[in-house]
Amino acid sequence: MESSVTVRFRRILLKLSGESLKGTLPAGIDVNVLAYLTREIEKIRELSVEVAIVVGGGNIFRGRTAQEQGISRVTADYMGMLATVINALALQDFLESSGIPTRVQTAIEMKEVAEPYIRRRAIRHLEKGRVVIFAGGTGNPYFTTDTTAALRATEIKAEALLKATKVDGIYEADPAIHRNVSKFDYLDYLEVINRGLKVMDSTAISLCMENRIPIIVFNVNEPDNLYKIVTGHKIGTLVGREGKNE
């Protein structure tokens, strides 16, 4: 990449849903998606951007569905956490196959396959140019992976939380259901909560607000969007203090 490129964010937390990893499959992991994400991450690493990732597990196991079938909330949440580890290992394998050093850290200890989550170690990995994937959620039931993303972003002092979705930002209503709905370019944290916009849960939004971490909601399926965001282009919807990044 050109040395004259201005980098807006030097350390980011990328939130990937499990749903995004299944691609066009009904469930599971689409290797084409993993290959695509690897290329997109590689582009920003060439700018010396430090990349941490939180992955969901909905492509493998959905806790809400399990509860409807009679599995308790706590058990379902732990099962979902284990699903995120599977996704993290798959993404790690693709990244490392492309020469990108990667570490998986889990909130639930499973030392045979991943490191335990240790904040100082995670930061050190980032400083050494390694991608760090956080799996296992927070290690506790009743917390979403969105909240995990906000928590880890705070702990590692990320400059932005990038929420990857299949739409190009936050809309007044679901654009897949409602026609002629307006997209927001900027939103204040409180406005997201007060409007009941479901892009992230209120706990995650509040945590980012308290720690002044901007959230950028964007379409991860559009090539180069990740690169454009870290180089200062206006992509997606920015959620921040009074709708602007401080």
Predicted confidence at residue 244, as pLDDT, reads 55
Burial state string for 88-109 with b = 16 or more CB within 10 A and e = fewer than 16: bbbbbebbeeeebebbbbbbbe
Nearest Cα neighbor of 37 from 164, 170, 168 is 164
* % of the chain at pLDDT higher than 70: 97
Distance (Å, whole) CA 152 – CA 149: 5
Q: What is the pLDDT of residue 1?
A: 46
Q: Is the dihedral of CA 135, 161, 36, 124 positive or negative?
A: negative
Across residues 45-49, what is the average pLDDT? 96
Residue 53 in contact with residue 16, Cβ under 8 Å? yes
Question: 239 and 214 in contact (C-beta within 8 Å)?
Answer: yes
Q: What is the DSSP letter of 4?
A: T
E strand spans, the chain: 11-16, 50-55, 102-106, 115-116, 131-135, 160-165, 170-171, 183-184, 186-188, 215-219, 237-240
The string of pLDDT tens digits covering residues 50-85 is 999 999 999 998 777 777 788 999 999 999 999 999
Tokens at 102, concatenated: 């990667």
* Mean pLDDT, the chain, whole residue set: 93
pLDDT in tens, 105-124: 999 999 999 999 999 999 99
- pLDDT, residue 198, reads 85
Residues 6+ apart with CB under 8 A from 194: none
> What domains does the chain contain, in order, with CATH numbers?
11-240 (3.40.1160.10)
User: pLDDT tens, 126-168?
Assistant: 999 999 999 999 999 999 999 999 999 999 999 999 999 999 9
Q: What is the pTM for the complete model shown?
A: 0.93
pLDDT band at 231 (very low <50, low <70, confident <90, very high): very high
Average pLDDT over residues 30-35: 97
